Amino acid sequence: MSRHTHPSRAAAAVTAVLALLQAWWAWGADGDAASTSAVLAPITLIAAAALARVNCLETRLVVVLAAFAQLGLIGLALLLGLPGQPRHSVDTQAVAALVVPFVVLVLIDLDRQTRRARRKGSADPKESSPYAR
């Protein structure tokens, strides 16, 4: 397990914000409940908590999958409409559903770059190996 970096902590926080937004949309705060958000909200919240606790490959992978799931679903909703629903119009909810997961992905990439820079600058051979414990 690697140590937390500032981008990984920020990614955990933004992922938690994404989970709260999904819960808000699932609850139907705007008068239109979203069943896909009801499924994704608990998964995203668990992923955020896991990333905040342990910064390892598996937790980063789940966060990336949750972010891509949100991007894919909002992309389908905007372009074609989800099954049984009309196309979603571009509004503040759609913009937030596109921007927040994208920010999560950027932060995960910054975390990867930061960890790589730490490994290259390390004099300890154990810390320079990605498989070191």
pLDDT tens sequence across 30-78 = 656 677 888 999 999 999 999 999 989 999 999 999 999 999 999 998 9
pLDDT at position 36, please? Answer: 82
pTM value? 0.82
Nearest Cα to Cα of residue 15 among 40, 37, 47: 47
CA geometry: angle 65, 67, 71, nearest 5 deg: 115
CA quadruple 107, 113, 118, 121: dihedral positive or negative?
negative
Residue 1: the pLDDT is 58
pLDDT at 84 over 80: no
| pLDDT tens column, 117-131 | 887 775 555 555 566
Whether 80 shows a pLDDT value over 60: the answer reads yes
What's the rounded Cα separation, in Å, for the pair 40 and 37? Answer: 5
pLDDT confidence of residue 132: 55
CA distances (Å), origin 3, targets 31, 56, 89, 98, 127: 42, 9, 41, 29, 11
Share the mean pLDDT of the chain: 86
Rounded distance between C-alpha atoms, residue 126 and residue 17, angstroms = 35
Model pLDDT, residue 4: 86
pLDDT of 127:
54
Higher pLDDT, 127 or 101: 101
C-alpha 76/C-alpha 70 separation (Å) is: 10
CA 103/CA 97 separation, integer angstroms: 11
